[in-house]
Structure 1
Amino acid sequence: MEYSTNLQIKQEKVKKIYSSWQPVMVRRGLYSGSINAAAIQTKPKGFGSLAGKPLYFLLLGLSAPLLLGSSAPLIPYPATDRLNEQIDNIRINNGTQGERRDEADRLVRLGGQQQHQGNLEQAIALFWQALEIYHQIGDVESVGRTYDFIGLANGELRRYPEAEDAFRRRLAVARSNKDLQGQIFGLNNLGTILLEWQNLSEARTTFAEALAISRSVRNFALEGASLSNLGRVAAAEKDYDRAIKLYEAAATLRRRGNDPLGEANTLNNLGDAYLAIHRYSDSIGAYGAALLIARERRAPNIQFRAIDGLVAAHSSVGRTDRALQLLQERLAIAKETENLHQQLKSLQLLAEFYRKQGNYAEAARAYHQAIAIAHILHDP
């Protein structure tokens, strides 16, 4: 009886945290539901809008603007993990010089820093400023790449119409400039947006065109990226056997093309496919290989995604101790990279984990920390 009473007290403590947070969220227009006991006891299988949903799930929704842990990152791998490389390439591959060019490059670098920290709105604004300068000085190649950055950031915010527009502009610039590599990037990124729209037929056609161009120029890394994206179409159609074959071929090509981050991204895709058909041992192997590469290359977005997959797989086979270790590692990475959005998600995942284990004291502690970060992110 005493144990039961203590458990009820801890459950009520968690519930009070939700209740204290509800007025804050209503005031910010982020929540319009009501707290109830079922919100603590159960979790619905899915939801589309925060309005009217149990407050228990609000902290997950707060991080929804980012494609956190998504199974469909833009190619060749998440934007913040490929940004510095592309920014460096802008300067290496173009002969324009002068103060205005330096200013545009500075704005792109600042945008990259903001994007790395999860501040996507600020990043987009900086990229647009840089784009205007590149247009004015006639730096066509940098114009195309900057459209890529704008599209990637909008994609992370799930602003798919804006992302599609940016990628179509990027593709048009590449075609007019006869930039085959730029066309491959543009087609793959555009195809990703079409995939998000569930336009599978057009996405497949777009990825297939990217694959054909990459093969014509014998670019193994981009051929692998295009194959990986075709695998995502197969996965969206729930043809997981075909998806697995495409991902395995893609990972080999990306390794051959010296694209370790791209390989890690494809390995995460492979892990998702194995997880979908309950091949947990295989999924752990794929996610683990992706995590190893991402650790070595210090690619946090890929690490987050691999960890999320590993947590799901280990939890499915009852390895809760390992799942907890991974969630703690996730939070440590988010803190190290000063990414508040990912810290928020990590704390929410930890709180949910502790709640499922019946550790309501630790769940409450994690939610308190998450609430403090949510205040920082969402205070006007």
Structure 2
Amino acid sequence: MKQKRIFPGLPIADFNPVSASRRYGLGTVSTRRWLIFSGAVLTFCLNCGAAEAVDITQQLHRPVNRSQWRESRDDADSLLRVGEQQYSSGSAQKTIDSGLRALEIYHDVGDFKAQGVTYDLLARAYIQLGLLKEAEDALRRRLAIARDTQDFQGQIFALNNLTTLFLQKGELTAALKTVTEALTVARSVKNIAGEGLSLSNLGLVTARLGNYHQAIKLYEQALYFRRQTGDAVGEANTLNNLGDAYLAANNYQDTIGAYGVALRIAKIGSDRLNYLRAIDGLVSAHSSVGRYERAFDLLEQRLAIAKELKNLGEELKAFETYAQLYEQLGNFPTARNFYERAILLARTLEDSKQELRLIDRLTKILKR
């Protein structure tokens, strides 16, 4: 069955879904999932030229003027929190700078768990910049630390994050093998949260392989475990994945239901990322059956939230979706206006890959 095209920008999987502060006691580090890719994933809009492709070890041991700064462990924790905030605001390169400085201190003091959390953050930032080789290196280092310290939960999440990365790279065989290992580890230690996460990501791999009905069954199993642990963020993410699968299977009614529940859960928990993703899914679903008025209402909410968050990347996605809807309706002047606004934001974000893609869309409209 051919998968229906849905709007870009949707995450493809759970990525580092558990707060670092809860896992490792590093203070208040607010972490939300990525990918993803989701169903999306991780949508993901990558800028391959925003940072040099340099090995983490080379970056980590770059010359540093220690007379200018001598951070303590507390300073490293602070850098990690700043890095998380920078990542949430879309500043991936600044995230990497903060993460590498924190990582050096954690290396000096020998805090392996904190190193693992930092590698998670670095991986997400590298992925945001399209530096997949560096992201994979960071995740493999994180996995090695988890194995060395017998940190089974760390292993589960590292393996799931690698699954997300393999999905984004289109390496489905590697993704299936990795997420299966994660599920095996989770079940062996009876880690309910890890089992829910792994089942959800196994559903993503299965959906990517084109077996949407089997993916739906896996998502339903994942929801059982996620609800057991009270993981509202994980539940909303899996529901969004479920909505993606229903949409691809042309099941409009269940698509709206899954996204609608995800929207409510995310709203209650102030989970903006899953809330935006649910809106994206609903916009895709409603527009696919010609319910454009409802799609535009939801898109207006999306743009308002993006502006409230001062997240230019999310604003860009909203402008592009507006342009796509107007293009579908044959309103090319308005579509052109929104593409131009999206291009300006891409330039502001110095996202050359995104800019070129949008210019190509605009050029095709101008030829009509």
With normalisation by structure 1, the TM-score equals: 0.75
Amino acid at match of 2:9: L
Give the ranges of 4+ consecutive aligned residues of structure 1 lying more than 6 Å apart after TM superposition. Answer: none
Q: Which amino acid aligns with 1:373?
A: L
How much does 1:69 deviate? 1.3
Residue in structure 2 matched with residue 186 of structure 1 by the alignment:
158
User: Where does residue 262 of structure 1 map in the other structure?
Assistant: 234
Question: 2: distance between equivalents of 1:208 and 1:359?
Answer: 47
Change (3 A) 1:360 1:240: closer
1:9-88 alignment runs, 5 A limit: 68-70=9-11, 72-75=12-15, 77=17, 85-87=19-21
Deviation by residue 1:264-291 (Cα, 9 ceiling, x = unmatched): 1111111111111100111111111111
- Find out whether 1:276 has 2:248 as its counterpart: yes
Is the contact between residue 87 and residue 109 of structure 1 (CA under 8 Å) also seen in structure 2?
Answer: no
Listed one character per residue, the Cα deviations across residues 217-273 of structure 1 (whole Å, up to 9, x for unaligned) are 222221010011111111111011111100111012111111111111111111111
In structure 1, C-alpha distance between the alignment counterparts of 2:342 and 2:157, rounded to whole Å? 37
**In the alignment, is residue 332 of structure 1 matched against residue 304 of structure 2?**
yes
Please give the alpha-carbon distance, in whole angstroms, between the structure 2 residues aligned to 1:300 and 1:356: 27
CA contact (8 A) 1:219 1:257 kept: no
Superposed, which structure 2 residues align to 1:185-224 within 5 Å? 185-224=157-196
Q: Distance in 1 between matches of 2:256 and 2:333?
A: 30
What is the count of residue pairs matched by the alignment? 306
1:137 to 93, 106, 109: 109
Equivalent-residue separation in structure 2 for 1:334 and 1:86 (angstroms): 24
Asked if structure 2 preserves the Cα contact closer than 8 Å seen for 1:76 and 1:225, the reply is no
Distance 1:128 1:359, change over 3 A: same
Give, in angstroms, the shift of residue 76 of structure 1.
5.1
Q: Going by fraction, where is helix more abundant, 1 or 2?
A: 1
Q: Structure 1 residues 229-238 or 155-164, which shifts more?
A: 155-164
Query: Which amino acid counterpart does residue 240 of structure 2 have in structure 1?
Result: N
1:144 offset after TM fit, Å?
A: 0.8
Which amino acid letter does the alignment assign opposite residue 147 of structure 1?
Answer: Y
Match of 1:54 in 2: none
CA distance in 1, matches of 2:344, 2:15: 34
CA distance in 2 between partners of 1:266 and 1:100 (Å): 39
State how far apart, in whole Å, the 2-side matches of 1:165 and 1:322 are: 43
1:235 aligns with 2:235: no
CA distance in 2, matches of 1:142, 1:341: 29
How far did 1:89 drift?
4.1
Listed as ranges, the gaps of 5+ residues in structure 1 are: 1-44, 47-59, 61-66
- Paired with 1:379 and 1:305, the residues of 2 have a C-alpha distance of 21
RMSD: 2.4
1:86 corresponds to which letter in structure 2? A
Query: Which of 239, 258, 261 is the aligned partner of 1:289?
Result: 261
CA distance in structure 1 between the partners assigned to 2:301 and 2:326 by the alignment: 15
Indicate if the aligned counterparts of 1:274 and 1:282 stay in contact, CA closer than 8 A: yes
Judge conservation of contact 1:75–1:225 (CA < 8 Å) in 2: no
Q: How many Å apart are 1:349 and its aligned residue?
A: 1.3
Q: Taking every aligned residue pair, what percent have the same amino acid on both sides? A: 49
Deviation at 1:358, TM superposition (A): 4.3
Could you say if the C-alpha distance between residues 122 and 314 of structure 1 is closer, same or farther in structure 2, counting changes exceeding 3 Å?
A: same
| CA deviation after TM superposition for structure 1 residue 205, in Å | 2.1
| Deviations, residues 171-230 of structure 1 (Å, cap 9, x unaligned) | 100010111110111111112222333332332222122112212222222101001111
**Quick one: structure 1 residues 358 and 154, their matched pair in 2 at CA, closer, same or farther if it must change by over 3 Å?**
same
Answer yes or no: is the 8 Å Cα contact 1:267–1:290 preserved in 2: yes
**Among 133, 137, 140, the residue aligned to 1:161:** 133
Determine the structure 2 residue equivalent to 1:16: none
Amino acid at match of 2:168: E
d(CA) in 2 for partners of 1:271, 1:379: 29
Distance in 2 (alpha carbons) for counterparts of 1:369 and 1:194: 32
Give ranges in structure 2 of 5+ residues lacking alignment: 28-69, 353-368
Distance change >3 Å, CA 379–CA 145, structure 1 → 2 = closer
Q: Which amino acid aligns with 1:324?
A: F
Relative to structure 1, the CA distance from residue 178 to residue 206 in structure 2 (aligned partners, 3 Å threshold; closer, same or farther) is: same
Establish whether residue 106 from structure 1 lines up as the match of residue 71 from structure 2.
Answer: no
**Is 1:224–1:253's contact at 8 Å kept on the other side of the alignment?**
yes
State the SS of the aligned residue for 1:378: coil
What per-residue deviation string (whole Å, max 9, x for no partner) do you get for residues 15-61 of structure 1? Answer: xxxxxxxxxxxxxxxxxxxxxxxxxxxxxx99xxxxxxxxxxxxx9x
Do the aligned residues in 2 keep the contact of 1:348 with 1:367 (CA within 8 Å)? Answer: yes
TM-score (norm 2): 0.77
Is 1:170–2:110 an aligned residue pair?
Answer: no
> How far did residue 379 of structure 1 move?
9.6
Residue equivalent to 1:244: 216
- Separation (CA, whole Å) in 2 of partners of 1:235 and 1:364: 34
